[in-house]
């Protein structure tokens, strides 16, 4: 019956349907066409015919993902300190989430994903969290590794009655698991494969309810990692983002290292006001806001330009090109963008740990 009707076949998560058996099964129904949805289209064997690509800037503009991804690293000998910092950041994010709920009514419970060194290290890590941190109870920590998948027993992880705040894994979370509440990744593995980090980092990028939060720190994702080399970690994360569908240029822009020894936190956006007709070039702004990779929002109608993340000199030049008059360029270049850089941690200092 299907063969007679020549159906249109829609394949979600199409990267999982690339085997000979998958193609044989699809061919058996003689589809009139096959439409695939995937973040990682095939490039080599049986390459996908990509008809449309959604950029990171577009996803950020649509409030679908958390950006940027802020990164902090420590030497393997400081793994305990790194873990403590990740726990502190998650707790600070939950304080912001409670304030957000009072303002908007939206419930958020930031979750920390912990990548343990080995499978047999997961249970001891949970015991340690509960033992050393009085605010953490055993029911707040779930393990998802191998045959032990405690997430299966969690009916609705987004429910206000769900206590889960920590998830411990090693290589990956089970296929299909999804939770936009996952904000923080902490990898305690000194050595890891690109695939291992790739399968976890994508879990912390979705923005809850596809809606921008009032506090900017709730619009970002955070990654902590033990490593002897910060550039190595940054490259790992950028490769992971590429493997999750981002371009290299996008990955370079959205993975931002925090200053050593302080949390990537306490960052406030800065908004400059211009005459929407005389001072903002709408055509240029439309192009440059995409090129700036989600770091800037431009509301031409209101004459507002908001800097959301630190800009380098090239990005500052792109932003300055959006305003037309010399006076506006001077005003933005000499004060607004500089103030935004300081407030966002570009040349100033982000807030340290909360007490």
Backbone angles phi, psi at 272, to 5 degrees: -110, 145
157, 151 contact by CB (below 8 A): yes
CA nearest to 140, candidates 122, 173, 163: 163
Residue corresponding to tokens 């981002």: 246
121, 194 contact by CB (below 8 A): no
163, 92 contact by CB (below 8 A): no
Q: Which letter does DSSP use for residue 32 in this model?
A: S
| CB-based burial label for 93 (10 Å; 0-12, 13-18, 19+) | buried
SS3 49: coil
Residue corresponding to tokens 């009085």: 134
pLDDT of 173: 61
DSSP per residue, 122-146 = HHHHHHHHHHH-TT--GGGEEEEET
Least confident range from 44-58, 215-229, 252-266, 281-295: namely 252-266
Q: Per residue in 48-101, pLDDT tens?
A: 888 888 877 788 788 888 988 888 888 888 899 889 989 999 998 999 999 999
Mean pLDDT, the chain, integer: 80
306, 269 contact by CB (below 8 A): yes
pLDDT of 329: 80
DSSP per residue, 290-342 = HHTTTSEEEETTTTEEEE-S---HHHHHHHHTTB-SHHHHHHIIIIIHHHHHH
261, 307 contact by CB (below 8 A): no
pTM of the model: 0.67
SS3 255: strand
SS3 223: strand
SS3 152: helix
Q: How far is CA 2 from CA 17, 114, 135, in A?
A: 19, 46, 57
Q: How far is CA 85 from CA 21, 37, 95, 163, in A?
A: 47, 37, 15, 21
What is the pairing mode between strands 148-149 and 221-226?
unpaired
Mean predicted confidence (pLDDT) in 329-351: 46
Q: Where are the alpha helices (DSSP H) in 29-158?
A: 56-61, 79-104, 122-132
pLDDT of 272: 82
276, 301 contact by CB (below 8 A): yes
Q: Per residue in 95-152, pLDDT tens?
A: 999 999 998 999 999 999 999 988 999 999 999 999 999 999 999 999 998 888 898 8
Backbone angles phi, psi at 253, to 5 degrees: -80, -35
Least confident range from 65-74, 153-162, 175-184, 322-331: namely 175-184
34 alpha-carbon distance from chain centroid: 30
Domain spans, the chain: 2-52, 58-257, 270-343
Q: Which letter does DSSP use for residue 68 in this model?
A: -
Structure token pair of residue 190: 């000194």
Specify the CATH class of 58-257 in words: alpha beta
């Amino acid at each position: 019956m299907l063969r007679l009707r020549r159906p249109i076949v829609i394949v979600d998560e199409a990267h999982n349907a690339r085997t000979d058996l998958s193609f044989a099964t699809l061919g058996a129904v003689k589809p009139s066409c096959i439409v695939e949805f995937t973040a990682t289209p095939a490039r080599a064997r049986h390459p996908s015919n990509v008809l449309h690509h959604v950029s990171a800037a577009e996803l950020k503009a649509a409030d679908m993902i958390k950006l940027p991804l802020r990164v902090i690293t420590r030497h393997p000998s400081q793994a305990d300190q790194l873990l403590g910092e990740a726990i502190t950041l998650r707790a600070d994010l939950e304080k912001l989430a409670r304030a957000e709920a009072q303002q908007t009514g939206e419930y958020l419970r930031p979750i920390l994903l912990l990548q343990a060194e080995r499978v047999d290290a997961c249970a001891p890590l949970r015991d340690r969290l509960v033992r050393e941190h009085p605010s953490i109870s055993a029911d707040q920590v779930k393990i998802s590794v191998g045959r032990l998948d405690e997430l299966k027993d969690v009916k609705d992880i987004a429910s206000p009655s769900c206590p889960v705040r920590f998830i411990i894994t090693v290589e990956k979370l089970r296929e299909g698991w999804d939770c936009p509440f996952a904000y923080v990744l902490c990898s305690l593995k000194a050595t890891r494969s690109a695939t291992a980090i790739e399968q976890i980092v994508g879990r912390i990028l979705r923005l809850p309810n596809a809606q921008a939060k009032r506090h900017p720190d709730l619009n970002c994702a955070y990654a902590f990692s033990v490593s002897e080399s910060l550039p190595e970690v940054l490259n790992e994360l950028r490769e992971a983002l590429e493997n999750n569908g981002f371009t290299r240029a996008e990955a370079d822009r959205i993975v931002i290292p925090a200053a050593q020894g302080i949390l990537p936190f306490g960052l406030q956006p800065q908004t400059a006001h211009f005459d929407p007709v005389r001072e903002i070039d709408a055509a240029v702004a439309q192009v440059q806001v995409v090129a700036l990779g989600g770091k800037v929002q431009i509301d031409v109608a209101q004459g507002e330009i908001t800097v959301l993340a630190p800009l380098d000199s090239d990005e500052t030049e792109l932003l300055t090109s959006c305003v037309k008059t010399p006076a506006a360029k001077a005003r933005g270049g000499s004060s607004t963008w500089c103030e935004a850089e300081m407030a966002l941690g570009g040349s100033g200092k982000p807030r340290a740990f909360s007490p």
